[in-house]
Amino acid sequence: MREDQTKRPLPPIVVSESDHERLTGLATAALDRLPDTARELLDEMERAEIVDGPAMPANVVQMGSSVTFKSDRADKRRITLVYPADEDIARSKVSIMTPIGAALIGLAEGQSIEWSARDGKRHALTVLKVERPI
């Protein structure tokens, strides 16, 4: 669903071993409740390059990262990518189990991706800055 053959190819992504393990489990568990987003996240985990935590590049979005990006429907936005239990939209904490969260994981600064919102509309975003989790 993420890749439309008429669109540009998906960018390569990098995910830490620990994020990969936890996110794969989370997405698998959510297949009944959030099938579209869970499948998107599983697809991302399947295509990701998996690296040891210490080898994770500092400029790549991982769980807990604060990310500044621009999209085709907003100028610039800064969010922190979190697990569902920590989601707080008022504080710009966005769950990995949202379409935009699943789109952001593993992207490096300067990379762009197209993604489908819950209403089915296609959007594009470009990562401008990544701040590592504390």
Per-domain residue ranges of the chain: 14-131
Distance (Å, rounded) from C-alpha 75 to C-alpha 129?
A: 14
Is residue 90 classed as helix, strand or coil in its secondary structure?
Answer: helix
- What average pLDDT does range 55-62 have in this prediction? 95
Residue 40, classified by CB atoms within 10 Å of its CB into exposed (0-12), middle (13-18) or buried (19+), is buried
Contact status, residue 78 vs residue 92, Cβ threshold 8 Å: yes
pTM exceeding 0.75: yes
What mean pLDDT comes out for the span 69-76? Answer: 85
Residue with tokens 């939209």, as numbered in its chain: 89
Average pLDDT estimate for 68-81:
90
Confidence of residue 71 (pLDDT cuts 50, 70, 90): confident
Q: Which residue has the higher pLDDT, 54 or 93?
A: 93
Q: Which two tokens stand for residue 79?
A: 């969010």
According to the model, what pLDDT value does residue 5 have? 41
Under CATH, to which class is 14-131 assigned? Answer: alpha beta
